[in-house]
Amino acid sequence: MNDYKERMNRIVRNVAERAWRQPLLPSGLWFHGDVRDNFYYASYLFAASLDLEIDPKFNRQEGKRLAEEVLGRVLRLQNKDAKSPMYGHWPLNLGPKPEEASPHPLPVELMGSLMVFFHRKFETEMSEGLAAEFEAGLEHIYHGGFFRKLLTVCNHHEAKYTAAKLIFGHRFDDKELLEDGKQSLRDTLSLLRREGMAEYGCLPWFWHWIQAFTCALELMEEPELKRELHELLDELWSLRTSYYLKGAWVGAHSRGWPHDAPRDANVLHDYVQFGDFSLPEEMPRTEYAGFLFHEAPEGNRRLALDRSEPTEVRKALMKSVDGEMRQLHSYAYVTEYFAAGGLWERVREFDNEQLRWMFSLPVRNGGKANQLYFFHPGEGYDPSGSDPRHQSEWMEVLYHKNVVLALYPLPEPACGVGGGEVVGVLPEGEWLYEAEALYGKVDEVYFAVHLSPGTAYDIREQSGYHLAVCRGPRMALTVEAVTVREAENRGIGQLAAFARQMSGHRPEFMTDGGFEVAYTGWMTEDRLRLTEMASGSSARTINGVECTFESYSV
């Protein structure tokens, strides 16, 4: 049985109590960083004040009054000038004087549809004045028509436009808009099935897909339309469950915010859906996870919740890169205690936010990182190490089950923000640092990281993880993950013993006539070889058999 309702109520109560404790700024809002946070927090406070199943730690009447005040102030920040090109929009970052902040295209994309849902759900409980302000605000959104756009690349923006077409078409009995939304929905579903999700591991934007279409499902009445929305949401949750490990999103990420690297923190929708980890104290993206829910298909949920048998996930997807459609290939190996994998090809993503590969652990409490990866820093990298994203193009990879091999063929002289450094993220745990090797025990997993000869490194402490800043003439590495249980089955009961065992099981690094690393997996005994040729091409073999993107991933 999925006790999702109890978990949704827990989110509502926790966010509501946080809103109640949050001091108001002179503007009468809680936040000036993002207008949407005020709307989300006020929504939860309003809901908790009314729901008798929730026992909040504040006076219900006072909570409702405060929520209404903030909601009203948010609504009054909308641009109501019908002649303005930003008619119907809100500002995003409010600054010191919210009433003077310029309108921005982003807030209404998701918030506008959620406002329709909130108004319908709570209209009868609102004061007459607030209900009227919502009615007027929704009218301005509808006539502003931010959603009246063609479906072109089928990204998270267009997913929200499609849902809004359905929601506002239905809300205002606009049959032409509703039909446009239905066709956009069908085209979106067809493209996802044909080409895959181009926004792989894209957080928080994947959740905007989920929220927008779940919101539409809640508001629609036509049986056929509801069936199509069910199908699309099942498709999205099927994708999510493939890469799920107790709150972690494993494998490659096309984009992500700092709070999701190197720790998965945008986990509220996962918490509601699966409930196999504790609700974290920090909730950087509350949005509407406490209000909107669509249960994933039972088979997918069963797979996500039972990782006792390791699973290899191979997917191909199409993505528009520099105006051309390219086929990309992803790989993930998911076990009960860790996962590994990533994207075979390098792709330049928006804001250079791609995380190409990683080892993932289940979500950890206390803000501890649950991701391990190494990369050469590229455009946008923060040298302080507090935001370990933004990788350069200089990396070749080979994934196979619990092992990842990586080469960093940096040009001479090394270019990029990171120069000749390769940066490694090591989750907080027990670590032994040796010459050209790092051995760690993090929760139920041992890690063996072997670095190419001549590589030196410094360890820098960060919040929840260690940063290994590596320097060397030609850098390469191997990482093998072994569960504590697997190690115990081989007579190893502590990190020091694991380090001794793995120090005698090092890879081979070669630089004559090219750049190569070869490694025999300690657990699998499979022979892996990754080679960067002098010509600039690369080769990958597993047990002597060439491994191509197409043959291995599709």
Q: Tens place of pLDDT for every residue, the chain, 554 residues?
A: 579 999 999 999 999 999 999 999 999 999 999 999 999 999 999 999 999 888 889 999 999 999 999 999 999 999 999 999 999 999 999 999 999 999 999 999 999 999 999 999 999 999 999 999 999 999 999 999 999 999 999 999 999 999 999 999 999 999 999 999 999 999 999 999 999 999 999 999 999 999 999 999 999 999 999 999 999 999 999 999 999 999 999 999 999 999 999 999 999 999 999 999 999 999 999 999 999 999 999 999 999 999 999 999 999 999 998 889 999 999 999 999 999 999 999 999 999 999 999 999 999 999 999 999 999 999 999 999 999 999 999 999 999 999 999 999 988 765 555 568 999 999 999 999 999 999 999 999 999 999 999 999 999 999 999 999 999 988 999 999 999 999 999 999 999 999 999 999 999 999 776 799 999 999 999 999 999 876 667 899 999 999 877 665 54
Q: What is the spatial distance between Cα 208 and Cα 212, in angstroms, rounded to a whole number?
A: 6
Give the pLDDT of residue 52.
85
Peptide bond into 453 cis (omega under 30): no
Distance of CA 491 to the CA centre of its chain: 37
Distance of CA 354 to the CA centre of its chain: 11
Q: What is the spatial distance between Cα 200 and Cα 252, in angstroms, rounded to a whole number?
A: 7
Structure tokens at 70: 């903030």
Exposed/middle/buried for residue 487 (C-beta within 10 Å: 0-12, 13-18, 19+): buried
Give the pLDDT of residue 526.
97
Q: What is the spatial distance between Cα 550 and Cα 553, in angstroms, rounded to a whole number?
A: 6
Q: Which of 490, 435, 462 is nearest to 263 (CA)?
A: 462
Q: What is the spatial distance between Cα 41 and Cα 79, in angstroms, rounded to a whole number?
A: 21
User: How many other CB atoms are there within 10 angstroms of residue 156's CB atom?
Assistant: 19
Give the pLDDT of residue 554.
43
Q: What is the spatial distance between Cα 431 and Cα 495, in angstroms, rounded to a whole number?
A: 8
Exposed/middle/buried for residue 279 (C-beta within 10 Å: 0-12, 13-18, 19+): middle
β-strands 508-510, 514-520 pairing: antiparallel
> Helix, strand or coil for residue 471?
strand
Give the pLDDT of residue 548.
76
DSSP classification of residue 318: E
Structure tokens at 281: 């104290």
**448 φ, ψ (degrees, to nearest 5):** -120, 115
E strand segments, 300-402: 311-321, 324-334, 339-343, 357-360, 371-375, 396-400
Structure tokens at 137: 């605000």
Radius of gyration from C-alpha coordinates of the chain: 25
Give the pLDDT of residue 536.
66
Q: What is the spatial distance between Cα 270 and Cα 206, in angstroms, rounded to a whole number?
A: 12
Q: What is the spatial distance between Cα 104 and Cα 94, in angstroms, rounded to a whole number?
A: 10
Structure tokens at 452: 């190419």
Per the CB < 8 A criterion, the answer to whether 474 and 455 are in contact is no
pTM given for the model: 0.96
